[in-house]
Amino acid sequence: MTELLEMKNVNKAFSGVQALSDVQFHLRHGEVHAFMGENGAGKSTLMKILTGVYQRDTGEVLLEGKAVEYANTAEAMADGVIIVHQELNMMGDLTVYENIFIGRESMNGFLINDRDNVKRARELFEVIGVSIDPYAKVDSLTVGQQQMVEIAKAVSHDAKIVVFDEPTSALTQAEINELFTIIDDLKSKGIGIIYITHRMDEVFQISDRITVLRDGEYVGTVNTADTDKDELISMMVGRELTEEVKLASQVADDAEVVLEVENLSAGRMVKDVSFKLRKGEILGVSGLMGAGRTEMARLIYGAEQPESGTIKLHGEEVKIKSTEEAVAMGIGYLSEDRRRYGVLVEKNVAENTVLPSIEKYISKGLINDRSANKDALEYNKVVRTKMTGIEQVVRTLSGGNQQKVVLAKWLLRDSEILIFDEPTRGIDVGAKAEIYEIMQELADEGKSIIMISSEMQEILRMSDRIVVMCEGNVTATLPIEGATQEEILSYAMMRKEV
């Protein structure tokens, strides 16, 4: 029997960076095929190629034996290839039936036939076995109900393939059970299901086969019944560490605790998080997509407010109500999205560097440009920013040098605690090494660093201790001594039972 889907030797590069290298994938009729891999493994990129968001550079995609290449998602949907995204793409102020049929409504001449669209919506919900009011506004539904509306929309396109991207991340256990019942029903109708998840228990519960990608390359496909958790983790990690790793913490056990977080919670992304940060320590924070690491950091930095829990600086409880208050308390934050939150790309190096400290250069309503420029130059020399001068516009710097400007501004502000969120994302190897060297120098000088990273090598190279998160919870705090990729990944996929 012809395979439902074949993807052969698929390659994709972005700005010279190879995201996929000769990736293979096969999907059978009526199969639930799980996709696994660490952050950045290439799962989402491959699915975006399948559904027309990206176009492949080379390779072949066959749907029921016929070569296809979709210019956009509309073409893919017309062929029955549908994706149900983790972040649901619906218009909350429209009704359920309007969301399902938008752009494809039943018409009476030039008028939309609402009665027929409602009837069709009800029939779809009967098919997938759920009860949802077609007239309800989408914003009034639970996340699980919204997920069911997305599935009904997929079925309405006469789906051949449905891709579920982390579908259960925001669902209750009852909603997960309902989703699995629907997936089983779709499977029985011969629809192929591609199931992307980090949840190991779900993979063994729902899938027939599992494909693992690593660093943009195909690792292998196994029958779910013939494998186990340890084998999958080995396939997902599977690389030899090519860089040095830190063999022992450089921070004494009795070093001063500069930051203590106790039972910090906010929504579904941060749940009862507790940890300590010591003076001169680099505390690595590891976890997979959706683990809640950035959300946790934003609570500490005052960008978001916790629902419960406490934050202590030097043993004293503090309420950090804004980022300005965090900065005043000596906390600096280097965002993973430095172009949006780290630098003003159209301003020059000097302006970016002195911005958090601008009040110290103002006298009688005027800025002392000479003093500001002098300090900007000094601190960019400290972090070794490669620039023509402090007047150079930040947009014209490389990613690594933009990151150094962000670092320079927090050093000038004399931040005692620095939160690095994906500090080397999008940075070349040479600049990475420089950032690592600077981070270690800062720790040696007594600065305390929280380093959030999706790169296992980075975590093992830089951390004195490692906090591992999964779905908003801290699942382990590990000493660097003896820590392994496999152990970290195992905890990163360990859901905490509540």
pLDDT tens, N- to C-terminus, the chain (498 residues): 678 999 999 999 987 778 899 999 999 999 999 999 877 788 888 999 999 999 999 999 999 999 999 999 889 988 999 888 755 567 878 888 888 888 777 778 888 888 888 888 888 888 777 788 888 888 888 777 887 888 788 777 788 999 988 887 767 777 788 888 888 988 998 999 999 987 888 899 999 999 999 889 999 999 999 999 888 888 888 766 656 788 899 999 899 999 999 999 998 889 999 999 999 999 999 998 778 999 999 999 999 999 999 999 999 999 999 999 999 999 989 887 766 767 888 899 999 999 888 888 888 888 888 899 999 999 898 888 888 999 999 888 877 788 889 888 888 888 899 999 988 876 666 677 888 888 899 999 999 999 999 888 899 999 999 999 998 999 999 999 999 988 998 999 877 654
Using the 8-state DSSP alphabet, how is residue 93 labeled? T
Distance of CA 124 to the CA centre of its chain: 32
3-class SS of residue 260: strand
Q: Give CA angle at 41 (492, 182), nearest 5°.
A: 75
Cα–Cα separations (whole angstroms), residue 407 to 23, 130, 460: 37, 52, 22
Residue 60 is which amino acid? E
Distance CA 207, CA 180 (A): 10
- Assigned token pair, 334: 């280097």
> In this structure, are residues 465 and 483 in contact, taking their beta carbons and an 8 Å threshold?
no
pTM of the predicted model as reported, rounded to 2 decimal places: 0.69
Q: Which of 315, 346, 353 is nearest to 332 (CA)?
A: 353
**Beta carbons of 497 and 281 less than 8 angstroms apart:** no
Q: In the chain, what are the helix, strand and coil shares in percent, each to the nearest 5?
A: 35, 25, 35
From residue 363, give the alpha-carbon distance in Å to each of 20, 359, 390: 55, 8, 22
* CA-based nearest residue to 160, from 29, 328, 311: 29
Domains of the chain (ranges; CATH) run: 5-237 (3.40.50.300), 257-492 (3.40.50.300)
Phi/psi class of residue 49: alpha, beta or left (left: φ > 0; alpha: ψ in -120 to 50)? alpha
- Give yes or no for a contact between 293 and 287, defined as CB atoms under 8 angstroms apart: yes
